[in-house]
Structure 1
């Protein structure tokens, strides 16, 4: 069962994150064929190479992302400042957890009409997520899967109003949002799937058995989302419960990395709780969602530059162990040239879209 833990997490986290960000990027009900076609291309060109990138880094260093960068920067003979990518990712994980519980909490509050302020509900749900982070990872993954499946079933029981699939004129902001959905909404750049399957990765000669199942799970999650929307009480509740389980998993993974770096316990909880509870401030949620997208893209950009331009070619070739040299060359072009260019353009598009 442990070998399926990473794909299960990838499926749940991707589905819940896109459910979280869909209203922000304006794709909750408007099903645009051109946008989703662009997203599918980016899943192949950006997300798949990044799935391999994460596995390759962990396979090379034989440890989780934050700890791995200590070894990898030494091997590449580059400044220790590049380790900031790992720290940005670790702090981003509780921030991402906060986004999950906050956006799902505000949606649930809308449909349930609870007699309490929305921010109090979000804070209470965040506390539950912190407590749940001490549960076994497999239990959290199973809970998240069950809640997502119930949500999908409910979308066929309760009528939802979705527009018909249609073509629209391309807008520059759509590029940014499509890249966000391909990278940030799939949880890439954080190394969490490689961290979850660390033992399997270390004992497998090739990266494909670890990277491809995760990528397939991410694609499946977003495809299913194309036929889903939260428009009733029960889906709102199940999405909230699934978000709590996913947020708890993110907190657990971040805490594990901080413990491996032997960070003081008090500092660990500051790093975990401060980004998480920031989302309880309802007045700045829109700003936080923009920060979320830009922060996630920045992490991916730093990793793409580090891997594509600073690491030695031979190191990751051995870790990936592709059957053909052509496949490795295509992967390297995607990481070294296409990914940084696409991410920078996406960051500009997100900023312009937020103005």
Structure 2
């Protein structure tokens, strides 16, 4: 909108009367009187538009800083900051992009030793690293827990199996790595938070209160979760004669059966058990193994560690070998039987005989 200012200046006419004189209107824009450059090396003038000035500045920056600055002028010649891709993280999620609508989801780039699985893991501990003073224990170790399947974590003493399980359960903090539980990415997971979302962790040492009877423990779990019948769990694990005893008086096998009973009554979505078959009688080991199978049959993701190779080969659906600070997926028990390196370096001569016997019959 153009505003006309009436100056009402008198002028001489033919009749001597005063007339109104209005200045002529110029539709062209008024040229700038400021001679300072709007961009370095570019003088602003009436014939230069703002887009042309910006384009000229981008080309000038590209000539000064190189071709990368011309392609990405907003980074001023520096490489765009990008986060490192962790094992198991797709390029789409790293760059913040989403797959096209209607198209297939991006393929998950997994750890080099983990295969492509059909079922989606509920728990993923990826690229875990841990060092105790000057001794590195874990270096890019990865562990998955899949619903409805039992994963056995095998390795020598001191290989870091318990450390990896503690980090995955939020019991211990890792130096680097990430834990993903139910699509929630956690760099510093905490056990209370994971437990509230359905994770159960059974450490090698007992979690039962030593001054409380086993019956009071089970009643407290039943009142808190109320998901399983107490009588059925007690009878299945043969705990009828142990209900009135305190936890400190239980043997190793009895304590393990009691802890498995607590886990069964909770019916967790994911169970991490650190050496549940260690130091127990074969009859107790059979009861514990059957309870773990029942949990997996109801859809629970179960991860167990230990050295009882014959029992674990019968129990597990898939095996993971931990050595030299990292993990290697061996596949099914049949595929583990065909792995000569695993049998030679971990099982030894006795393991080679076990593998030879298992090769003669289907696993």
The two structures share one fold, judged by TM-score above 0.5: no
Shorter-chain TM-score tier: under 0.3
| Bigger helix fraction | 1
Higher RCO, 1 vs 2 (CA within 8 Å, ≥6 residues apart): 1
| Bigger strand fraction | 2
> TM (normalized to structure 1)?
0.24
